[in-house]
Amino acid sequence: MRNIKAVFNKQLVSYIYNPERWGAPAAFLLIPFIFMIASPDANMALLTIQFVIMFVGISMIGGTAAIIREDRETKNLRFMGMAGVKPYQYLISTCSVLLLVSFGVLLLFGFIAGHYGGVLVNFMIITMLGVACSMLLGMTFGLSKLAPFTWIIGILLGVGPVMAADAGIEVLSQVFYFTHTYQINVALRGGSMELPNFTTLYELYENYNIVDIYGMIELIREMRTPTELVTLPMSSVRIMIANMGVMLLAFIGINLRYGLDGERAR
C-alpha cells in the first residue's frame, strides 16, 4: 500500500505540473463551456456528447499511452522496480490518477449538459466505462511498437463515431459500431431519431414541410436531440464490457511480450 500511495502521489504531481497531460482534457472541457456562455440557445446535450466522445477517445487513449511511454523512456519504471515497486502497484497508481482526473472532467461535462440525479449517475457510468476501455487500449499501445501511432488511433476513435452519427454516414456507423466510443454515442443519445429518409425535395416538403435549408437544419437538430438517459442502456454496457475484456487480454499479451520496462523486447 505504501508503494501504491507513493507512486500515486508522484503521478498526480507529475500530471498537474505537465501541461501536455492536462491541456487536452482542459481544451475539450473549455470549448463546450464557452459555447454555453456565448450561446445559451445551443444544444448543449448534443454538443456535450460530441466532446465527451473526443475526450474519451483522443485524450484518454493518447494520454495513457504517453504516460507509459514516457516512464519507460526516462527509465522511471526501472528505477521504481529497483525501489521495490511491483508492476501491478504502478498500474493501480497510474490508473487511479487517470480515473480521478477523468471522473472530475466528466462530472463537469454532465453539469454542462444539464444532467442531475439518476440521469447524471447513468451518464457517469457510461462515460467511465468508456474511460476504462480507453485506458486499457492506451496502455496496450503504450507498451507496443505501435506507441508512436497512438494519437492517430485516438483521433479515429474520437472523431469517427461523431462523424458517423452527426453526418449520417452509414459506412462509418458499421465500421465503428462495436467500438466503445461509438457505444458511448449510442447510449448518451438515448435512442434519438435517425435522419429523415427521402429521395426527392418534393417528398421532403410533403412529409416534413421543409421549404428551405434553415428548415432542414432545424429538423436535423430536433431529430438529433438526445432523450433523457433515465435508464441505463444495457446493450451498450455489455458491448463496452466485452471491449474491456478483449483489451485486457491484449494488454496481458503485450505485457508478457515486452514488459512494462521494455526489457523483454531485447
pLDDT in tens, 86-108: 878 888 898 899 999 999 999 99
Q: What is the chain's length?
A: 266
CA dist., res. 146 & res. 133, Å (int): 18
Q: Which three cell numbers stand for residue 61?
A: 487513449
State the pLDDT at residue 40: 66
State the pLDDT at residue 262: 61
Mean pLDDT across the stretch 240-263? Answer: 83
Burial profile 189-219: b = 16 or more Cβ within 10 angstroms, e = fewer: bbebeeeeeeeeeeebeeeeebeeeeeeeeb
Please report the DSSP string for 161-210 in residue order: HHHHHHS--HHHHHHHTTSHHHHHHHHHHTSPPPPP--SSHHHHHHHH--
State the pLDDT at residue 197: 55
Residues 179-197 pLDDT 10s:
999 999 888 887 544 445 5
Instruction: Share the mean pLDDT of the chain.
Output: 80
State the pLDDT at residue 196: 53
Mean pLDDT across the stretch 126-139? Answer: 93
Neighbour count for residue 23 (Cβ, 10 Å): 12
Domain boundaries, the chain: 2-191+226-265
State the pLDDT at residue 227: 62
